[in-house]
Amino acid sequence: MPELPEVETIRRHLAPRVEGRVLHRLEILDARWTAPEDPRAVEDQLAGRLIERLGRRGKYLVATFDGDAHLLMHLRMTGTLLYDPPLGNGPDAAPAHGRVRFTLDEGRRLVFIDPRRFGTGRLLHGDRQLEQYLAVRLGLDPLGPAFTAAALKAMARGRVAPVKAFLLDQRRIAGVGNIYADEALFRARIHPLRPAGRLSLGQWRDLRDAVVEALEAGLAAGGATIDDYRTPEGVQGSFQNEFLVHTRAGEACPECGRAIVKLRAAGRGTYVCERCQPRPRAPRRPVVSTWGS
């Protein structure tokens, strides 16, 4: 479930362990990871370089090497990065689905695990190329100073797509995924199917605050639960109890007690309390006055 809080948790965990180390060897086991680029070319260009810094932009992890090379990694649905995972069999079994292996100083390893193989790695050269790549894909940082109600309302002007689709669009807001979108909409008491362009400034204020709160709650919980060998399932397991509505169809709303329902919004499973988050009014049909005709 890597959305912004999970990716940031992984980053915080790994950064102090890999920054300042040399990447001695890179083995890309799955050619799909770099497609359409040739994995051998990526291996050759990064082997022997110093890892200067591990950053995050939206849901991307960005490893910056000396010589101004950036390796942009995306975990998608099921990807994760494990530090020094076990190698053996039996109780010390190596994790399955290893797609990329990084060998660092002193035998330290980093393994990109990804059962579903949606994850990607992309090598970019220079800040210019990096910024250009991200600029067309990522919008506002929801934890940054520019993430304001006024900015959101301006971006949504005239937009008829559901507000949930707006939250999920990484080119507008970088880092919110399906689960945190549901949580934020519930906290802000806004129905996911409301057209984004129809929200008032006050509602954008509520939603902005709710997004920040939800992400920070995830950050606080994620940071407390990850360790060297922890899989993303471990992270998810402990925080899942804190989700108010997501995957809780049929359960009582914690606010009002009405059963939470599951519906479809922006093509994703969506959970909502339809008392706390009233449905949008049916699209208003032009009312033709019949008076005095």
Partner DNA sequence: CGCCCTGTTGGGGA
Partner DNA sequence: ATCCCCAACAGGGC
- Which residue ranges make up the site for DNA (CB under 7 A)? 1-3, 32, 58-59, 74, 76-78, 96-97, 115-118, 137, 159-162, 165, 168, 170, 177-179, 232, 236, 247, 262, 266-269
Strand-pair partners of 135: none
CB nearer DNA, residue 96 or residue 287 = 96
Name residues whose C-beta falls within 8 Å of residue 265's C-beta, 6 or more positions apart in sequence: 162, 164, 165, 192, 193
Residue 153 CA to its chain's centroid (Å):
22
CB nearer DNA, residue 129 or residue 236 = 236
Q: How far apart are alpha carbons 182 and 178 in whole angstroms?
A: 6
Decide if 54 contacts 19 (C-beta within 8 A): yes
Q: Which residue has the tokens 């937009």?
A: 159
Both tokens of 268, joined, read 């994703």
CB of 135 to DNA, least distance (A): 12
Active-site annotation holds for 2: yes
Tell me how far CA of residue 286 lies from CA of 163, 193, 282, 289, in angstroms: 23, 21, 12, 9
Which residue of the set 56, 59, 172, 187 is catalytic? 59
Q: How far apart are alpha carbons 272 and 244 in whole angstroms?
A: 10
Q: What is the CA radius of gyration of the chain?
A: 22
CB of 213 to DNA, least distance (A): 18
CB nearer DNA, residue 45 or residue 236 = 236
CB nearer DNA, residue 157 or residue 285 = 157
CB of 177 to DNA, least distance (A): 2
Q: How far apart are alpha carbons 198 and 97 in whole angstroms?
A: 45
CB nearer DNA, residue 104 or residue 210 = 210
CB of 120 to DNA, least distance (A): 8
CB nearer DNA, residue 75 or residue 104 = 75
CB of 32 to DNA, least distance (A): 6
Decide if 140 contacts 151 (C-beta within 8 A): yes
Which residue of the set 17, 25, 268, 275 is catalytic? 268
Active-site annotation holds for 164: no
CB of 199 to DNA, least distance (A): 13
Active-site annotation holds for 3: yes
Residues tagged active-site: 2-3, 59, 268
